[in-house]
Amino acid sequence: MKKRLLTFAIGFCVALVLASCGASKPVADTALGEAVSFDRHQVWQLVALKGKPVSGPATTLILNSEAGALNGRSACNRYFADFTQKLVEQTAQGTRYALKISYLGVGETRCPDADMEAEARYLALLPKADACLLTEYTLTLYKGNKEILKFELQ
């Protein structure tokens, strides 16, 4: 357990350092031809899970494509993972990316059962995402053609 906690702490610190580097820049214009890209300073908040609105403690996601890392806070714990994305297409609806999320690390803090269940559902779906649609204010993750997680820019 100490080794797992140490791995989590190191990964989280690295993610924080990487997220703090550089200047913040706004989301790119969504006009056709100008791809919207991930900004490591943007915090996305989960608003729907499998198309159903979520409530309870805020679940957040921060993507840093330059470092190939993501992190955030689920209902009870902080988490981090590696990810890659590949631009698929730019449409009037937003920018589509192929996505691969791997090596998901999570803290081990206990909290009320309902929050733990919500966290488990979210963390089970996150690494299953294989595509996303990024707009100026929303990020939707898909498994195949099915929406599994939807976030709004905080």
Domains annotated on the chain, with CATH: 2-153 (2.40.128.270)
Q: What is the pLDDT of residues 2-46, one digit of tens each?
A: 444 444 444 444 343 333 333 333 333 333 344 567 788 899 999
Q: What is the pLDDT of residues 38-58, one digit of tens each?
A: 788 899 999 999 999 998 899
pTM (global) more than 0.85: no
CB 36, CB 141: distance < 8 Å: no
At 143, is the pLDDT very low, low, confident or very high (cuts 50, 70, 90)? very high
At 94, is the pLDDT very low, low, confident or very high (cuts 50, 70, 90)? very high
Residue 149: its pLDDT value, please? Answer: 98
Residue 35: its pLDDT value, please? Answer: 56
Among the residue ranges 22-36, 77-91, 114-128, the one predicted with the least confidence is: 22-36
